[in-house]
Amino acid sequence: MKRLGVNIDHVATLRNARGELHPDPLFAAKYVKKIGADSITIHLREDRRHIKDIDAKKICSIKGLLVNLEISTNPKIIKIALKINPDFVCIVPENRKEITTEGGLNLIKNKLKLKKIIKRFKKKRIRTSLFINPSLNDIKIAKNLDIDCVEIHTGYFSNLIKKKRNYSKEFDRIKKCSLMANQSGIEVHAGHGLDYKSTKILSKINQIKEFNIGHFIIGESIFFGLSKVIKNFKKIIK
Ligand code: PXP
């Protein structure tokens, strides 16, 4: 059974555009769970452009809600994450000027730093994931880092589909990485840029256990409503 994680960062983006309280990400987190999401994802970015510390703290304290907190390797962010104690963390690269997370982590460059961070989260029994590019070498490094999960960056794959270009090579890359990770005892997740079509195609890969989707869900909900859109995704990944 594949799971759907819903990223609600852009509820906060919309709220922040007015500088007031509506729409409330806390309400979104509870609502999204009620209508079928298996977990919610929030990204506490260093520039706090959407989710703020108080949102993360309140959302992580909702009983019965599984929260996946995306974080960079910034020591201040790590300290906050350890304090608010989410169920899951996903470590992502972060670059101030990017519009969204542009690629996976550089595991070679950050191996030692990541090893120390992973140890701290595992000690608190927080499921820990690394956001990586679909690269077999990165899966090997991830295995050495004793990670619970990897989330494969599907941005490039999603763009090929949106531009109606040939995606078979990228699909094979994602599939091979998923197989190798699974054989190494690492749970496989997928995320970034996904819509109905790209999710449907990737759902054919049995080893992918979780999809984390944000921008498309929130955007599509303007027209069709969150409930309908989440139900559609649940059907697609079933
Ligand atoms: N997974 C990770 C690790 C991300 O950084 C993001 C973007 O915040 C997503 C999934 C969701 O991407 P999108 O909003 O394009 O669906």
In short, whether 214's Cβ falls inside 6 Å of ligand 1 is yes
| Range 178-197 average pLDDT | 98
| Range 123-152 average pLDDT | 97
3-state secondary structure of 97: coil
Residue to substitute in 3, 8, 41 for testing ligand 1 pocket (most ligand atoms within 8 angstroms of CB): 41
Residue pair 29/51 in contact (Cβ under 8 Å)? The answer is no
- For the chain, how many structural domains are there in total? 1
* Cα–Cα dist 26/18, whole Å: 17
Residue nearest to atom 5 of ligand 1 (CA): 101
* Cα–Cα dist 89/69, whole Å: 5
Cα torsion through 24, 28, 34, 35, rounded to 10 = 130
Residue 171 Cα to ligand 1 midpoint, Å, equals 18
Residue 50 Cα to ligand 1 midpoint, Å, equals 13
129 pairs with which residues across the strands? 90, 149
89 pairs with which residues across the strands? 69, 128
Residue to substitute in 51, 70, 127, 202 for testing ligand 1 pocket (most ligand atoms within 8 angstroms of CB): 70
pLDDT value at residue 102:
80
Could you tell me what percent of the chain has a pLDDT over 90?
95
Report which DSSP code applies to 73: S
Active site amino acids: 43, 70, 192
pLDDT value at residue 95:
82
pLDDT value at residue 213:
98
Q: Domain of 95?
A: 3-237
3-state secondary structure of 21: coil
| Range 219-237 average pLDDT | 98
Residue nearest to atom 3 of ligand 1 (CA): 131
Say if residue 97's pLDDT is above 80: no
pLDDT in tens, 32-60: 999 999 999 999 999 999 999 999 999 99
3-state secondary structure of 225: coil
Say if residue 7's pLDDT is above 90: yes
Q: Between the CA of residue 117 and those of 19, 108, 131, 147, what are the distances in Å?
A: 34, 15, 14, 11
In short, whether 101's Cβ falls inside 6 Å of ligand 1 is yes
| Range 16-33 average pLDDT | 97
pLDDT in tens, 64-78: 999 999 999 999 999
pLDDT value at residue 88:
98
* Cα–Cα dist 221/79, whole Å: 34
Residue to substitute in 8, 69, 90, 100 for testing ligand 1 pocket (most ligand atoms within 8 angstroms of CB): 100
DSSP codes joined into one string, 31-48: HHHHTT-SEEEEE--TT-
In short, whether 94's Cβ falls inside 6 Å of ligand 1 is no
| Range 187-212 average pLDDT | 98
Which residue, among 215, 222, 184, 177, has the nearest Cα to 199 in the 3D structure? 215
In short, whether 43's Cβ falls inside 6 Å of ligand 1 is yes
* Cα–Cα dist 141/110, whole Å: 11
Mean pLDDT of the chain: 97
151: domain CATH number?
Answer: 3.20.20.70
Residue pair 164/120 in contact (Cβ under 8 Å)? The answer is no
Say if residue 99's pLDDT is above 90: no
| Range 89-98 average pLDDT | 89
- Listed in order, strand segments (DSSP E) in the chain are 3-7, 39-43, 67-71, 88-91, 127-132, 149-153, 187-191, 208-213
Backbone torsions φ then ψ of 131, nearest 5 degrees: -85, 115
Residue nearest to atom 15 of ligand 1 (CA): 193
Between 91 and 98, the higher pLDDT residue: 91
C-alpha Rg value of the chain to the nearest Å:
17
10 Å Cβ neighbour count for 58? 15
Say if residue 189's pLDDT is above 90: yes
